[in-house]
Structure 1
Amino acid sequence: MDYDVLNVFCGPDGGHGNALGVVRDGALLPGREERQAFAGKLGFSETVFVDDPERGVIDIYTPSVRLPFAGHPCVGTAWLLDVPELVVPAGVVAARMDGEFSWVEARPEWSTPRTMRQFGSVAEVDALPVPPPGEWIYAWAWEDEAAGRVRTRGFPGRGDGITEDEATGASALLLTAHLDRALNIRQGRGSQILTAPQPNGYIEVGGRVRAHF
């Protein structure tokens, strides 16, 4: 089974980013059970199956569940397919390129629920241990509130082997909606996510994408 591996939301130096698997020919694994099993085998936080590359129809899976929408899979797949939009079960995701950044536009309510937990300092976020499986926790603290710079870490809590997500676009959408302002997010070991609220209730989320070799 051929698939691409991308790093999405890379840092300014091109490093880090969250790994994403993309099966360009989704027809090779048409059934949900087959796709779920393959996503579990790959073990990435998300794997995408492309059902129509021209229209941008995609199907997203974690190692344990199917998702109606997810941020870093959409940002990475839009970059890979070079399409103006993606179609996911939650809706139509507009996409664009702007220099080194790949952007998508989505609604925060498309994201799966998670607990936003604010801390008083970056050092507190950095020192957090991985919590036991349970709720999806997005820990954050202001790095520079005036500049909109935030330090975050994401703990899915699913018990499927992904104890911490390196970069999560859906969480960034929810935090942006909560704070109602554009953000420059540093997540995980050194990934970067940019967000910008839009007047129509959508939020843009963008970052660098690199092919993983």
Structure 2
Amino acid sequence: MTDYDVLRVFCAPNGGYGNELGVVRDGSLLPDREDRQALAAKLGFSETVFVDDPERGVIDIYTPSVRLPFAGYPCVGVAWLLDVPELVTPAGVVGVRLDGEFSWIEARAEWAPPRTFRRYGSAAEVDDLSVPPAGEWVYAWAWEDEPAGRIRARGFPGRGDGVDEDEATGAAALLLTERLGRALNISQGAGSQILTAPQPHGWVELGGRVVLER
């Protein structure tokens, strides 16, 4: 079995929760896309990242079923792990900064895959949702405190690949931030925290806590 690290990304203030991420630090061990896709499917994380150049930050991202040109929480996690000034993805160059307990990336919302956004009237309604049928990638959300920018959200990939709900999804947070045009503090899943802030010229910052699980 290829060696890999497991991170939790977008953790709560106490270090709990967060979305698990698999990271193969030496991507040269599996250079072929088919082999990478097979490993990502076997591991079963929402995403698995292969690092092709740790010094330049060149990475390759896979869900259990598809390769992605960009994804938010994998970039936040790998940025923390590699401690590099930028990441190079097929979608473009992602800016990186580490700020105390938070790791931040800067990316463009158009790099994110499309999502179906469903707004609800209260956080309780979001909490009570059942997993929808496979099909659309659904991001369900509601204001917890609109003046403060606090949002309750849940993400349902709808891919039918065994990941019924994502604990924390950076790409969806990027898209929602662009749509609302303001900084957000998102509570997603069982207790994960995602921070965002719109930047000039169409960029969005995305940040959170990262923990090395193993």
TM-score (norm 1): 0.99
Cα deviation code 1:44-66 (max 9, x no counterpart): 00000000000000000000000
Instruction: Provide the TM-score with structure 2 as the length reference.
Output: 0.99
- 1:36 matched residue in structure 2: 37
Q: Alpha-carbon deviation of 1:190?
A: 0.2
Q: Which amino acid aligns with 2:210?
A: V
CA distance in 2, matches of 1:133, 1:166: 17
**Does residue 15 in structure 1 map to residue 25 in structure 2?**
no
Letter paired with 2:69: P
1:148 and 2:149 aligned = yes
Matching residue of 1:73: 74
Give the Cα–Cα distance (whole angstroms) in 2 for the partners of residues 89 and 118 of structure 1. Answer: 31
Q: How many residues align?
A: 213
- What corresponds to 1:24 in structure 2? 25
How far did residue 185 of structure 1 move? 0.2
5+ unaligned residues in a row in structure 1: which ranges? none
4+ residue runs of structure 1 moved beyond 2 angstroms? none
Paired AA for residue 29 in structure 1: L
Structure 2 counterpart of 1:157:
158
1:59 aligns with 2:60: yes
Aligned to 1:198: 199
Aligned-partner Cα distance in 2 for 1:84–1:61: 22
Q: Separation in 2 of the partners of 1:196 and 1:146?
A: 15
Give CA-to-partner distance per residue, 1:161-188, whole Å, 9 cap, x none.
Answer: 0000000000000000000000000000
Fraction of identical pairs, as percent:
77
RMSD of Structure 2 on Structure 1 (CA): 0.4
Report how far residue 29 of structure 1 moved: 0.3
Task: Quote how far apart the aligned CAs of 1:200 are.
Answer: 1.9
Q: Which residue of 2 aligns with 1:86?
A: 87
- What is the one-letter code of the residue matched to 1:207? G
Give the secondary structure class of the aligned counterpart of 1:75.
helix
Q: Residue 200 of structure 1: SS of its match in structure 2?
A: helix
> What's the counterpart of residue 212 of structure 1?
213
Question: What CA distance in whole angstroms lies between the structure 1 residues aligned with 2:141 and 2:33?
Answer: 34
| Amino acid aligned to 1:11 | A
CA distance in 1: counterparts of 2:128 and 2:191, whole angstroms? 15
SS at match of 2:42: helix
Inter-partner Cα distance in structure 1 for 2:207 and 2:142:
20
